Structure 1
Amino acid sequence: MSFSVATKNELARVTGRQSCCRLAELAALIRMDGSIQISGGRLVSLNISTENAAVARKILSMIKGLFDIHTEVLVQRKTRLRKNNVYLVHIPPQPGVNMLLNRLGMIDRDGRLVNDIREDLLKKECCRRAYLRGVFLGGGSVNSPEGNYHLELITDNEKHAGYIGRLMQKLRLPAKLSERKNWHVVYLKGSEQIVRFLNIIGAHSALLNFENARIYKDMRNQVNRLVNCETANLNKTVNASVRQLENIKLVRDTMGFEHIPVSLREVAELRVKYPDASLKELGGFLQPRLSKSGINHRLRKIEEIADNIRRKKF
């Protein structure tokens, strides 16, 4: 089960305490996944489709609880691509359908379709949170935190996408909008933003799982960075030691240690004796002790002598 599906299954069990919140959530679900059909004689019916059985049950429960209207659930099976079940919540023509659509802000009192969201549906913050929950259930997805951080809400209505973006901005979520073929996408990229969104819509178990995975991922990345850094430093130290030994052997074999200053001879002999020691450790062997920079300075002097020898040879 994907992280998105697990999150939706959790949200399908979250019920708004007040009827206004349930009304806002249902309105969002219908705007995301619903279609209104008007047949002969101006008979109006409503279809809401989803691939998630838990979401279909929630839609059915909210409609019955808020409107007590006859509703059917049909199950269809896709024949292309992923052969998932599609659950169709169908409200056939009957008295009360127009009233339902009017209360949800889909049509006005004269039965004309309404594109704008009714502001009175989202006066309270709890209703705005519920609306975003419905939007996510209807067209949302969130990546597993083990991969790239990405949450998106997809709708085929550009105006609705803009409204969702503004609603998220009011809740201090810096949502961004983009287009993908014929779809309009509202998305969040930052892990902190996604955690806040999950908290707002009430997906608390998903939030905890997201945080646990994120902490583990961050710790693993930090350990990898430290290991890479240590490996790079070790390689650098080994390469420097090999180069220093080559310089020292060249000086010893060509001109001999007796022809270089005593201070340089002491460091050269220590490096030959302790090829794996750090500069700090080499400085500790001397009396008086010599700093790391002092050891490095003397090794540089030996390197200059070796370079002069090489130039004379060639």
Structure 2
Amino acid sequence: MSFSILTKNELARVMGSRQCCKMAELLALIKMDGSLQVSGRQMSLNILNHNAAVARKVFKLVKELFGMQAEVLVKKKVRLRKNNVYWVRIPPQEGLRDMLVRLGLQRFDGSLREDLLQDMVSRNCCRRAYLRGAFLGGGSVNSPGGNYHMEIITSKGRHAADLCRLMQKFGLTAKISRRKAWFVVYLKDSEQIVECLNLMGAHSALLEFENTRIFKGMRNQVNRLVNCETANLNKTVDASLRQIESIAQVARVIGIDKLPLGLREIAELRLSFPDASLKELGEMANPPLGKSGVNHRLRKLDQMAEKLRAGDMPPGF
């Protein structure tokens, strides 16, 4: 089961304690996946979802808040092995128009509202409930083991803008992109996804997200340290091989015993300890040398070898 489905199943069990919050969440679910059917003077409302737990929540909210008769229909999708589709259908009945007006979906004159009635989300608790309903209606969140991405997809550009503004009220820097005929409100920052999960009430999903994110961060840090250590080790080995070749060149032409005492000592140490670092070579010298002192002498040996390869005899030899 995907992380997104686990999150939705958890949020489907979260019920607001206040009626205003339940109203806001039901409004979001209807605006995300609701369709109004009008035939003459009769009107019915259908609310679609692909999650059985979410469909049960819609059914419960409709019954609890408005006492409306409703039914849940299940349609099996065979093509491409899709999941079931659940329809919460509110058939024509007295009180349906009043329900739509109270939710801010319809005006008193019967015309439909495209904008989000701000009275429905005037409180922070209602804004959180609305975001929860919107996510249940058309949201998804990637597993934290991969790329960080949370999105809510809606067919209305105005609704996408309303969702974006709601998130911004909580300090979430949501953005909107277009995907064919859909508008996508998304977050990509892991900290903000964690905050959004917290706002919606998905606390178990949040803990799993955080645990995976911390483990992923530690693994990445270890990989960076290992890569850095490997790079440093490769540089040390390459430098050591080059220095040994230079010392061998000097030994063939001049002879190590003919070198000044300081150069002879460092040359013999390098030949005896090819894997040692500059610091370790310096500690073995008598008297001990710093890294810069060892590096200076080895560079002089490199320069001497280069001149010998070019056919030039260093001064004094």
TM-score by length of 1: 0.98
Deviates most, 5-14 or 267-276: 267-276
Equivalent positions of 1:61-100 (< 5 A) are: 61-100=60-99
Query: What is the CA distance between 1:111 and its match in structure 2?
Result: 1.6
- Cross-structure match for 1:35: 35
Residue 15 of structure 2 aligns with which residue?
A: 15
The letter of the residue matching 2:262 is: S
Question: Any residues of structure 2 matched to 1:46-61 within 5 Å, and which?
Answer: 46-61=45-60
Aligned to 1:215: 214
Distance 2:113 2:282 in 1: 82
The residue number in structure 2 matching 1:139 is: 138
Q: What 5-or-longer segments of structure 1 have no aligned partner?
A: none
Give 1:261 shift.
1.6
1:108 matched residue in structure 2: 107
TM-score, normalised to structure 2's length? 0.97
Give the secondary-structure state (helix, strand or coil) at the position aligned to 1:81. helix
Aligned residue runs from structure 1 range 211-250, under 5 A: 211-250=210-249
* Aligned-pair CA distance for 1:258: 3.2
Q: Deviations over 1:29-61 (max 9, x none)?
A: 000000000012x21100001010000000000
Which residue of structure 1 aligns with residue 295 of structure 2?
A: 296
C-alpha distance after superposition, 1:180-213 (max 9, x if no partner): 0000011000000000000111111110000000
In the TM superposition, what is the alpha-carbon distance from 1:79 to its structure 2 partner?
A: 3.1
Counterpart Cα distance in 1 of 2:245 and 2:68: 90
Report deviation, 1:115. Answer: 0.9
Letter of the structure 1 residue corresponding to residue 277 of structure 2:
S
Q: Which AA in structure 2 matches 1:196?
A: E
Question: Equivalents in 2 of 1:100, 1:136: separation in Å?
Answer: 22
In structure 2, give the amino acid aligned to 1:199. Answer: N
C-alpha distance in 2, partners of 1:205/1:134?
Answer: 18
| 1:270 corresponds to | 269
Distance in 1, Cα, partners of 2:31 & 2:70: 18
Q: Report what 2:315 is aligned to.
A: none
Size of the aligned set, in residue pairs, is 312
Deviation of the 1:214 alpha carbon: 0.1
- Residue type at the aligned position of 1:231: T
Is 1:183 matched up with 2:182? yes
Structure 2 gaps of 5+ residues are: 313-317
The runs of 4+ residues in structure 1 deviating greater than 4 Å are none
Q: 1:118: Cα distance to partner?
A: 1.2
Instruction: Report the counterpart of residue 159 of structure 1 in structure 2.
Output: 158
What is the root-mean-square deviation of aligned Cα atoms in Å? 0.9
1:133-183 deviations in Å (ceiling 9; x for gaps): 000000100000000000001000000001110111111100011100000
Q: 2-side partners of 1:290 and 1:69: how far apart?
A: 89
Deviation at residue 103 of structure 1 after TM alignment: 1.0
2:259 counterpart residue number: 260
Structure 1 distance, partners of 2:182, 2:289, is: 69
1:83 shift after superposition: 2.4
